Chain A
Amino acid sequence: MPEAREPARLGYAGATRWFLLAALAALPLADLVVSGPDPWLELTRLLAGILRPEMLAVAGRSVVLTVAFAVLGVALGALAGLLLALVFARLGTVRALAAAMRSVHELFWALLLIQVTGLSPLTGILAIAIPYAGIFAKVFSEIIEEADLAADRVLPHRTDAVSRFAYARIPVLVGPFGTYLLYRLECGMRSTLVLGFIGLPTMGFELETYFRQGRYAEAAALVLVFYVLIGTRRIWVRPATLPFLLGGSVLALAWLTEPLAGDSIWQNLGRFLGQGIVPRPLRGADLSDPATWAALGTWLWQILANQALPGVVATLVLSQIALLGSGVLALVVFPLVCRSFAGVAGRPLGRVALVVLRSTPEYMLAYVLLQTLGPSMLPAAIALALHNGGIIGYLLGRHADALPYRPDAPRGINLYAYETVPRLYGQFLAYALYRWEIIVRESAIFGILGVATLGYFIDAAITELRLDTAMVLIAATGLLSLGIDALSRSLRRRLRIENRPVRLSAAATPATRSTPACA
């Protein structure tokens, strides 16, 4: 049997050089200026607010709704993802469907869903559930593939499928599924908060108001509550509390949100599918007339040339700069959470700092920085670099702690340069390449905040109710992130780092099983 040809090997230094070059090439195209009237004054006011949070400003309703949206959205996404995962490996169409669902950011899903379901609870739940179902399908099917199914082979031949599943599969899978679910719930909380910035009644809605009015003390209190919620998730999310969380979330959404006003969902959906997303030249046109199709071609070309192309370029410019920033930051900060550098006393402090960075939704961070530094790519790049650099740095620190050093290893900067970084570099590249696709998706989203990436054109199109244009642009963002995902995977293969763990949930569990391939 002929073996599959291995792709040509790429060196770590070579890959790093390419990314450096890409970021350098992007710099002249990027608009990295501080344009705010008085950024220092604004920053000092922000810091003053953070130091004196106004706890009385926290409204219980939005906190409860944030949890409720996250719990129900993630639960629905997990359920759908589990069903998709069962056939994921066998059906190409399911893989393509899952890829399409997860390639579109939850904020874009929300902007589309608002057209149909308005600002109703359904919008929030589905905006989380749809992209998460695509992610769950992929990750659950990977977990099923990686699972130790040796016991399944030993079962008597005629064991029925349900018993087989209940005894030899579910008990093996329930642990890793649970770990991943908890991690996703944390992501879901961040996503839900961000959905508030576009109008859903979560904590993000109040945060947006406070930030806009410069009431930083009130905003700081809300963010503090959010950190506490995330930090204590292991306490309030347990198998025993799940029924209460799910039931309570349903009740909270039923009582605390307003029902959809105006037309019914079905009327909206009819208008959305029948009118909104049908390309303008095709509406009520004679489909047998070649002129119709010529008009469609012109229409599509106009969108691609005037909006998609500049949007894609700006998205890539921002994400390459942010990726480089994240990488540099990660390499600088990981010693903070590492025993051999920060020491036993310093490590917990470093951890708190990086966990805070990781828990801060990058969208909110970008929003705040835009307020203080003024509109340009700079705040977006800083927000992305801080969030992703914090995440990668935290994970690298854990890997660094697991490295076995020889007893006479050097210390300090020599240890860092000669032992730690060289040995971690493959893992570092694996994480950075994995985050690349996420950074690109986020860069596109930041357009909603005014940076001229793809999201800017999408937001504009939706505001002007040009939903057909928005659909083309959203498809373009989806294709862009799928392309980056494919490129990242092929690079990881060529760097021979495709088996390193990249999933946060896996790396974030105690590093007892630190085998290189247990993603």
Chain B
Amino acid sequence: MLVDLRGAAAGYAGRPVLSDLDLTLRAGEHVAVLGRSGAGKSTLLNLLYQHLADRAALIPQAAALVGTLSVFHNVYMGRLDRYSTLRNLRMLAIPARAEVAEVQAVLAGVGMAEHLFRRAGALSGGQQQRVSVARALYNGRPVVIGDEPVSALDRLQGAEVLGRLAARHGTMVLAMHDIGLALAHARRILVLDQGRVVLDAPAADLAIADLLPFYA
């Protein structure tokens, strides 16, 4: 069991968003978190990320790249804690061949290999999102937590990226808005409404029609 929340609460600046939350997350689960905007999805993901700390890689909602650095450096950031300070500093000036090759392979998986040394700030929204995903893939922690990680991609690209994430990280918790994509790639569906879990069921038992009422 990775996380076991009992009666948890969370919020921003004194305003409660989640309250009285019971949730367990086991290793190997693929969870999709659904719900209207403002339901508390991002807050839940942040809460899980805090609990998992070192075991999780994060794909935040805004791509959160450093626009002035290259795509390579943004992806390399996923492993800053594994190398010495000196090596990290050297890598800023002179990227080592081994790491470049490794990062390039990860970028190829999300269709961004040809942009290796472009400035991240010059990329389009969809491209930035793929770099953000690549950073999590390169990070390679056992759990990946993603806040709408494929929102700026088309369905085909989105499906491919979700497949990569599932293959790389054993456990996934992803907030999503595309119900079809969620049912196809997650094994457990969690629906939030006004800060509470209103549905928690295996994806195999659900159809799109079962989830639509939550968006009405």
Contacts and interface: CB of A to CB of B under 8 A. Distances in A.
B19 to A, nearest CB: 16
A153 B54 contact: no
Contact of A156 (B60, B65, B139): B139
Contacts of B81: 155-160
A300 B139 CA distance: 67
Interface string B81-94: 11001001100100
Contact of A168 (B54, B66, B82, B141): B66
Contact of A167 (B54, B58, B67, B88): B88
Contact of A171 (B57, B60, B68, B79): B68
B80 A167 contact: yes
Contacts of A162: 85, 88-89
A154 B64 contact: yes
Nearest to B54: A157
B53 interface: yes
Interface of B: 13-14, 53-54, 57-60, 62, 64-69, 73-74, 77-82, 85, 88-89, 92, 132, 135, 139, 141
A156 to B, nearest CB: 4
B80 A150 contact: no
A156 B79 contact: yes
Interface in A159-184: 159-160, 162-164, 166-168, 171-172, 174-175
B88 A166 contact: yes
A158 B53 CA distance: 9
Given A159-B80, A164-B80, A151 B66 contact: yes
A1 interface: yes
A29 B92 CA distance: 62
B23 to A, nearest CB: 21
A163 B88 contact: yes
Nearest to B82: A156
Contact of B58 (A1, A153, A159, A174): A153
Contacts of B141: 156
30 contacts: A1-B14, A150-B60, A151-B64, A153-B58, A153-B60, A153-B64, A154-B58, A154-B59, A154-B132, A154-B135, A156-B57, A156-B78, A156-B79, A156-B80, A156-B139, A158-B54, A158-B81, A159-B80, A160-B81, A160-B88, A162-B85, A162-B89, A163-B85, A164-B80, A166-B88, A167-B80, A171-B66, A171-B68, A171-B69, A172-B66
Contacts of A172: 66-68
Interface of A: 1, 150-151, 153-160, 162-164, 166-168, 171-172, 174-175
Contact of A151 (B65, B79, B82, B85): B65
The prevalent SS among residues of A at the interface is helix
B54 A156 contact: yes
Contacts of A151: 64-66, 74, 77
The prevalent SS among residues of B at the interface is helix
Contacts of A175: 68
Contacts of A155: 77, 80-81
B91 to A, nearest CB: 9
Nearest to A164: B80
Nearest to B58: A154
Contacts of B69: 167, 171
A153 B50 CA distance: 11
B54 A166 contact: no
B89 A157 contact: no
Nearest to B76: A167
A466 to B, nearest CB: 53
Contacts of A154: 58-60, 64, 77, 132, 135
B127 to A, nearest CB: 16
A9 B85 CA distance: 51
A331 B69 CA distance: 41
A175 B69 CA distance: 12
Nearest to B59: A154
A247 B81 CA distance: 37
A167 B135 CA distance: 13
A151 B131 CA distance: 12
B62 A163 contact: no
A175 B66 CA distance: 12
Given A153-B64, A154-B132, 19 more contacts: A150-B60, A150-B64, A151-B64, A151-B65, A153-B58, A154-B59, A154-B60, A154-B77, A156-B80, A160-B80, A163-B80, A163-B85, A166-B89, A166-B92, A167-B73, A167-B92, A171-B69, A172-B68, A174-B68
B60 A160 contact: no
Report, nearest first, the 8 A-B pairs whose CB atoms are least far apart.
A150-B64, A1-B14, A156-B81, A163-B88, A158-B81, A159-B80, A171-B68, A159-B81
Given A156-B80, A157-B81, A163 B66 contact: no
A375 B170 CA distance: 82
Contacts of A168: 66, 77
A150 B120 CA distance: 14
A504 B14 CA distance: 36
Nearest to B14: A1
A328 to B, nearest CB: 41
B77 A167 contact: yes
A133 to B, nearest CB: 26
B52 to A, nearest CB: 9
Nearest to A150: B64
A156 B79 CA distance: 7
Contacts of B139: 156
B89 A163 contact: yes
Nearest to B136: A154
A162 B85 CA distance: 7
A151 B68 CA distance: 12
Nearest to B53: A157
A92 to B, nearest CB: 23
B132 to A, nearest CB: 8
A164 B88 CA distance: 10
A1 B65 CA distance: 34
A154 B64 CA distance: 8
Contacts of A164: 80
A195 to B, nearest CB: 36
Nearest to B89: A166
Contacts of B77: 151, 154-155, 167-168
Nearest to A169: B66
Contacts of B74: 151
Contacts of A153: 58, 60, 64
